[in-house]
Structures are given as structure tokens and as C-alpha cells.
């Protein structure tokens, strides 16, 4: 039976909480002051402390610091009558699992306590595994790593560190933020975390937040009932409900509007949803993994992203290295994508010429893994022999050089290739503008479309035309 310590100088609150949690299979002790609580903690181990923020002899902040310093395996939830976002963020930064504002609601308390206990157990288990592996490394076999088809286990230092972090966080229920440049394979990493977690047999649901408006957010996140609004011709299940029991991956979360962030925060806090037009609440058991190529700390400073939502997501963060920092792993990715392209196009291409390999290793890959995959799919389609040759690569890659002088000559327009008519010249200028802008925004198509003042569909069509042109 898990042990909980309640610290509150209001006797009635302590008694009510104690009775309620005892009825829900917890062993509960109460303390009326901070000093009494520290005596209880010194006398025996507790799994969780529920501490009122305002106490006669101290406050919740000081209690949190002491408990985390002396008893790191004990989780802490702060109870406060003041719904202060800055205070809440500070407490979470200091190590609190969560905070609950008064008045207290039984369902909310029980749900938060259950999650805190589950998270603390997972964290302690992970720490114990790390210690055990260091002390008895020869006696314990290496953990099996399940990978999805799109994930390449690289051999470079950056790739090994990425795999290590996935193995570390996957068994827990932590929310995870994936950061890194556009095209580095965040969804593939999210799937790998899911496949190596206890939720692997449950749904993995991916949602693109890049173009989500306030009007669409409610229906996409929570779903709706038939007839709940004009155009609701059928009942729709939202992404949270689809992912219940499993993992929900929110891509490009940094592009969410501030209004949509507020909607999302409530759901993340309460772990409940209601379809639009329904009165029935659905309890959620969903692990959240979010991805962004933006610096959310900068977005917080500029008032574009909620700090409290950021800390809800940021229980663990993984930074994905750009492709050009992964050394010869580029060739592992290339071989993997060649296999996919062969199956897709029913081809039998065996590999790459030495010139193509040199080109792959020297090119900077501003579009990262996504760019490499697209290049190889295109090259597989164009290749007639058994090896991909240099002529099958796009011009900007096949003529790339690390030497600035050679690079500028390679990219300089050749007089015989300049278009002679106005239509061709306009298309050439459009091609150069789109390509340059995509590189500037790290191939974030949502940003590029906004800067070009066109929608994403138009941008995709123009990119397809560019691909055919090459």
C-alpha cells in the first residue's frame, strides 16, 4: 500500500483528505505543520506528500526544496488557494509533480495523486535500473530496443546519445518535448518512444498542429457529436480520445495560437475531454509527446507560448541532432531509404556510386533526414542501372562543394541555361525564391507558406513542379 503524507494546518482539510484517500487504498498520515511533516519523513519513507502552500511555520516552496533535497524519491503535490500561474511554474521547476488549487474536488485530487504515484514509481525504477547497470553491468543483459522502420540506429556519438535518451524515457509515463531542426525525424523518434513503452500495444496517434485554427481545435482535439453545430453531419472522435491508453504526438506545437494553447492546457491538466455537443466526460490516460523546431523559451519571452503549458509538456526533452552532425550515419539513412524506395517503386537498385557517397557526406543537408529521403526517392525513380549516379541527384546537391570558391562557381548561373522568354524567367525566379526561403526557415513549410503569402497546398504544388523541373 502506497504511503501519503498530508501537510495542512487546517485540521478539517487534513481529516477529509485523509478519509477520502484511505477509502481509495492509500495509507495516509497527516501533519499540522512543516516541522511535524519533516519528523514524519525522517521516521519513515513516503511515496507522496500533499502540502498546503501556506503553513504557520513555513510555506510550500520551502517544504518542496527540503523534501527534494533530503528525500528525492518522494513526490510532492502543492495545494494552494491562489491560482497564480507564475507560482505554479516556479513550483514545477523546483520539482513539484503538480499543484492543486482550492476548492478541492475529489475526482481531480484522486486523478492527480494516482498519476503522481505512477510517475514517481517509474522515475525511481529508472534510477534504480541506471544504478544497477553501473554496479552490475556484466550480469545484466542490454535492454532490447524496438525500432520502427523509419528509425535508424546510428553509430555516431550524436546518434548513440539519441538512442540512449529514448531508452531512458520510454518506460516512464513522462511527457516529452522533441526539439531540433525541421526534418530531423521527430515523428520517427516519437514512435520509437511509444514502441519501447508499456503502451506499445495501444494506439499511437499523430496530429499536425501547424495549421490548426481556434475554430477547428475543439473538434480535432476532442471530437463532436452529430448535429452539434452546422456541418456536423456525423459523430467524430477527437485525437485525444483516439489515443486514449496510448500516445498522442503533437507535431509543430510551437505554431499553435495562444487561444488554442489555453484549450489544450485545460485538457492536459484535467486529463478529461468532452466531445462538442456532449455532456459526457471521458477520462484520459494519454502520454503526450510534442515536437517543435522553434525555441519555445524564446516564444515564451515574446508572449507567443504559455509558460505553464510548456512546463506541462517538458517533463523530459530530447534534442534531435541535424543530419550533417551525424557523420557516416548519413549512409545508413541513405541505405534505409533506398530499401524503402525499391519496395515502393518495385526496383532493384543495389547502392550508390563512390561520387554519390562523397556528395552525400559533404553536403550540409539543410532539410535534414526528410530532404535525404526525398532525394533518394527521386534518384531511385531516375536511376536506370544498379547504382545511383551523380546525374540522378538534384543540381544543388550534385554541384555542392565545401570550398566556398568552388561552391560559388558551381552555383553560378550558366549563361547558356538562362531562360530567354518572360514566362520561363518568372518560373526560374519563383523557383529560386521558394528554394532560398525554404532553406532560411529550415524547410518549415508552414512558415514558408506564411512568408510567401500563399497556403500550404499551393506551396506543395509549386514544390512538386520544382521537383519535376529538376
Q: What is the pLDDT of residues 8-65, one digit of tens each?
A: 988 888 888 899 899 988 999 999 999 999 999 998 889 999 999 888 889 988 999 9
Cα–Cα distance for residue pair 391/383, rounded to 1 Å: 9
Q: What is the pLDDT of residues 157-172, one digit of tens each?
A: 888 899 889 999 999 9
Cα–Cα distance for residue pair 329/322, rounded to 1 Å: 11
Vertex 162 angle, CA 159 and 164, to 5°? 110
Backbone conformation region of residue 25, classed left if phi is above 0, alpha if psi is from -120 to 50, else beta = left
Number of other CB atoms surrounding residue 406 within 10 Å:
12
Q: What is the pLDDT of residues 268-302, one digit of tens each?
A: 888 888 898 888 989 999 999 999 988 898 999 99
DSSP 3-state of 241? helix
Give the pLDDT score at 320: 93
Set out the domains of the chain in order of their start, with CATH numbers: 3-130 (3.40.50.2300), 157-321 (3.40.50.300), 326-412 (1.10.8.60), 415-470 (1.10.10.60)
- Yes or no: say if 378 and 360 are a contact pair by the CB < 8 Å rule: no
Cα–Cα distance for residue pair 73/55, rounded to 1 Å: 23
- Yes or no: say if 4 and 21 are a contact pair by the CB < 8 Å rule: yes
Give the residue among 119, 112, 113 at the shortest CA–CA distance from 268.
Answer: 112
Cα–Cα distance for residue pair 114/20, rounded to 1 Å: 13
**Nine-digit cell at 455?**
497556403
Number of other CB atoms surrounding residue 132 within 10 Å:
12
Cα–Cα distance for residue pair 371/438, rounded to 1 Å: 11
Amino acid at each position: 500500500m502506497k504511503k501519503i503524507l498530508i501537510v495542512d494546518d487546517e485540521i478539517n482539510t487534513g481529516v477529509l483528505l485523509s478519509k477520502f484517500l484511505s477509502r481509495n487504498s492509500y495509507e495516509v498520515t497527516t501533519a499540522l505543520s512543516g516541522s511535524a511533516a519533516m519528523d514524519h519523513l525522517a521516521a519513515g519513507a513516503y511515496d507522496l506528500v500533499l502540502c498546503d502552500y501556506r503553513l504557520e511555520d513555513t510555506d510550500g516552496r520551502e517544504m518542496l526544496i527540503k523534501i527534494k533535497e533530503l528525500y528525492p524519491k518522494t513526490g510532492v503535490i502543492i495545494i494552494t488557494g491562489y491560482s497564480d500561474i507564475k507560482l505554479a511554474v516556479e513550483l514545477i521547476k523546483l520539482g513539484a509533480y503538480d499543484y492543486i488549487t482550492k476548492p478541492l474536488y475529489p475526482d481531480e485530487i484522486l486523478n492527480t495523486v494516482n498519476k503522481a504515484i505512477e510517475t514517481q514509481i517509474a522515475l525511481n525504477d529508472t534510477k534504480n535500473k541506471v544504478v544497477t547497470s553501473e554496479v552490475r553491468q556484466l550480469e545484466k543483459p542490454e535492454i532490447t530496443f524496438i525500432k520502427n522502420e523509419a528509425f535508424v540506429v546510428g553509430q555516431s556519438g550524436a546518434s548513440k546519445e539519441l538512442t540512449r535518451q529514448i531508452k531512458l524515457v520510454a518506460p516512464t509515463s513522462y511527457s516529452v518535448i522533441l526539439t531540433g531542426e525541421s526534418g530531423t525525424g521527430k515523428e520517427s523518434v516519437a514512435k520509437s518512444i511509444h514502441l519501447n513503452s508499456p503502451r506499445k500495444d495501444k494506439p499511437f496517434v499523430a496530429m499536425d498542429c501547424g495549421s490548426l485554427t481556434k475554430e477547428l481545435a475543439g473538434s480535432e482535439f476532442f471530437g463532436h457529436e452529430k448535429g452539434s453545430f452546422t456541418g456536423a453531419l456525423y459523430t467524430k472522435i477527437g485525437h485525444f480520445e483516439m489515443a486514449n491508453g496510448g500516445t498522442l504526438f503533437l507535431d509543430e506545437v510551437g505554431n499553435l495560437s495562444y487561444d488554442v494553447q489555453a484549450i489544450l492546457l485545460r485538457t492536459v491538466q484535467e486529463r478529461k475531454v468532452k466531445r462538442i455537443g456532449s455532456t459526457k466526460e471521458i477520462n484520459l490516460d494519454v502520454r503526450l509527446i510534442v515536437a517543435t523546431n522553434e525555441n519555445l523559451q524564446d516564444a515564451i519571452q515574446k508572449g507567443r507560448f504559455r509558460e505553464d503549458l510548456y512546463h506541462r509538456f517538458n517533463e523530459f526533452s530530447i534534442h534531435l541532432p541535424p543530419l550533417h552532425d551525424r557523420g557516416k550515419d548519413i549512409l545508413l539513412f541513405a541505405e534505409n531509404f533506398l530499401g524503402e524506395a525499391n519496395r515502393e517503386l518495385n526496383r532493384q537498385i543495389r547502392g550508390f556510386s563512390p561520387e554519390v557517397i562523397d556528395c552525400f557526406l559533404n553536403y550540409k543537408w539543410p532539410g535534414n533526414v526528410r530532404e535525404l529521403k526525398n532525394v533518394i526517392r527521386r534518384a531511385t525513380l531516375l536511376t536506370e542501372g544498379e547504382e545511383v549516379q551523380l546525374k540522378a541527384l538534384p543540381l544543388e546537391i550534385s554541384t555542392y562543394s565545401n570550398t566556398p570558391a568552388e561552391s560559388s562557381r558551381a552555383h553560378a548561373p550558366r549563361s547558356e541555361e538562362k531562360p530567354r522568354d518572360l514566362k520561363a524567367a518568372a518560373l526560374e525566379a519563383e523557383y529560386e525564391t521558394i528554394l532560398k526561403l525554404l532553406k532560411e526557415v529550415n524547410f518549415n513549410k508552414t512558415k514558408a507558406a506564411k512568408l510567401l503569402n500563399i497556403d500550404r497546398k499551393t506551396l506543395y504544388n509549386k514544390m512538386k513542379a520544382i521537383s519535376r523541373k529538376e
